[in-house]
Amino acid sequence: YSKFVLFSKNPNLLFSMASTTKIMTALVALDYYKIDDVLTVKTEKVEGVNVGFKVGEKLFLKDILYAMLLPSGNDAALAIAQNYPGGEEAFIKKMNEKSKSLNLTNTNFADPIGLEDSGDYTTPLDLVRLTSAALENKIFADIVKTKTLQISDITGENEYLLKNLNKLLGVSGINGVKIGTTTEAGQVLVT
């Protein structure tokens, strides 16, 4: 694709990005972890949407990424951040470093999830730049175009059916990327 702007409206308007935050969470995860690394769930029943992971459960990174990007599992996003060296705080710092490296000059990440009132913000232009960079990663691009997927923990005992919340997926060639909703942000769609 050309990356040429055909139309823009309020490209520099600051807003809270809700779960589209998870695009950056995925990028930082893919920079640091290997796809078959095993992560341990350290927190369950996180605020907002949960896949249902239990404390101590072990999953491959690839499955956690699907759980984060399809049904927008906050427990999945938190597991990625909490397994990072230095934990969630270090992970958020890395998100903001990555943001600077991508020249996202009007973006700040305050958590790996996109929770309400966290202090995160971006602009439509920065979100497009972030997504463009993310789609260059084949693993990310393959995940966000997936409608449904069954995953399990590494033992195969706990199974989860994941459904992509993006209702436009597959319509007229749409193959991603991420939705997000909070009262503060409203409804956010990157497609």
Of 50, 116, 118, 53, the closest CA to residue 83 belongs to: 53
3-state secondary structure of 128: helix
Q: What is the DSSP letter of 19?
A: G
Concerning whether 22 is annotated as a catalytic residue, the answer is yes
**From CA 141, how far away is CA 143, in angstroms rounded?**
6
Concerning whether 72 is annotated as a catalytic residue, the answer is yes
Distance linking the first and last C-alpha atoms of the chain: 13
Spot the catalytic one: 16, 62, 72, 99: 72
Concerning whether 101 is annotated as a catalytic residue, the answer is no
Spot the catalytic one: 19, 62, 94, 178: 19
Spot the catalytic one: 16, 22, 94, 178: 22
> In the chain, how many H helices and how many E strands?
6, 6
Residues annotated catalytic, as ranges: 19, 22, 72
